[in-house]
């Protein structure tokens, strides 16, 4: 388990819409759908179809999907493709050596990725996954043809690109440079097109009094398709959050009842204490 968590932390799944230089990345808030079985079922379908090819989830068995409302027949007919059994672990056939040769490192196990990211990037980990999957952009200078804002030169390509549709990325950087022997502020705007080719424009800011910053802005060329993609990514993020701790909803329900019991017990104990000591002088 420790190896799995360390491997999960090694993969930086993160994203940003705006980030000041030297500061932590701002995560987008993922919709909370942990109580929505339909969303969790859709997330499971997308996870198994798109993620469970390179990534494993060896702490999860297929039959645990019963907890989100799926029957064994539904699991067998819709989520098992290569002869697995309903009681099997979510493993993959890719060899770790092959993965290292193809991607630079073996793909980490995703069983507890959401929990690992809640420790590494701050809770909740689902926000980390949600934002990471929404910050890929085309970059022809990279071996995979893709790059990521939060994890530059990521070995993982954008496997969900066909769901998201084309879009453009504009990065704006303000920093100090040396010109004619003195330090001046320069603004550099770089635009990555939908095919990954980029163009940069620089200008000197004569009266700038701020600090060094870096910001990012995406423009979807197919807004409807991009919105549908965000919805799918939200389902994946919620499923991975659930998968990292399948009993979390039950745990929270039990916690509520425990707090109610303790509250009632406090009232009873307080009144008993008053009754015992009312005649003591």
Question: Which residues are annotated as part of the binding site for heme c?
Answer: 51, 54-55
Contact present, 260 and 153 (Cβ < 8 Å) = no
The Cα angle at residue 57 between residues 8 and 43, in degrees rounded to 5: 100
β-bridge mates for residue 201, sequence order: 189
List residues forming the annotated binding site. Answer: 51, 54-55
Residue 220: CB atoms within 10 Å = 17
Query: Could you give phi then psi for residue 190, rounded to 5 degrees?
Result: -115, 130
**CA 223 from centre of chain:** 21
Q: Could you tell me the two tokens for 237?
A: 């993020």
Alpha-carbon separation of residue 207 from 86, 161, 176 (angstroms): 66, 41, 13
Taking the CA atoms of the chain, what radius of gyration do you get in angstroms?
25
Nearest to residue 13, comparing CAs of 2, 23, 27? 27
Contact present, 113 and 140 (Cβ < 8 Å) = no
Q: Could you tell me the two tokens for 204?
A: 């000197």
């Amino acid at each position: 388990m420790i190896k799995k968590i360390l491997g999960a932390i090694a993969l930086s799944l993160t994203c940003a819409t705006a980030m000041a230089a030297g500061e932590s990345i701002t995560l987008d808030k993922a919709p909370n759908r942990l109580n929505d079985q339909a969303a969790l079922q859709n997330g499971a379908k997308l996870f198994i179809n798109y993620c469970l090819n390179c990534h494993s989830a060896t702490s999860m068995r297929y039959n645990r999907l019963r907890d989100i409302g799926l029957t064994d027949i539904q699991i067998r007919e819709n989520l098992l493709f290569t002869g697995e059994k309903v009681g099997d672990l979510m493993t993959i056939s890719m060899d770790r050596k092959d993965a290292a040769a193809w991607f630079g490192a073996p793909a980490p196990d995703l069983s507890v990725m959401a929990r690992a990211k809640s420790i590494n990037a701050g809770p909740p980990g689902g926000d980390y996954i949600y934002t990471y999957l929404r910050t890929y952009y085309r970059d022809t200078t990279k071996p995979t043809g893709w790059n990521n804002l939060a994890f530059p030169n990521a070995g993982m390509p954008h496997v969900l690109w066909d769901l998201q549709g084309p879009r453009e990325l504009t990065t704006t950087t303000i920093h100090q440079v040396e010109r004619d022997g003195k330090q001046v502020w320069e603004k550099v705007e770089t635009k990555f097109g939908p095919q990954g080719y980029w163009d940069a424009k620089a200008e000197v800011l004569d009266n700038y009094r701020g600090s060094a910053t870096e910001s990012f802005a995406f423009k979807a060329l197919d807004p409807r398709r991009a919105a549908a993609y965000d919805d799918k990514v939200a389902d994946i993020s919620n499923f991975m959050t659930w998968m990292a701790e399948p009993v979390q909803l039950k745990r929270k329900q039990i916690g509520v009842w425990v707090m109610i019991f303790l509250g009632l017990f406090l009232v009873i104990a307080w009144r008993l204490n008053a009754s015992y000591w009312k005649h003591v002088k």
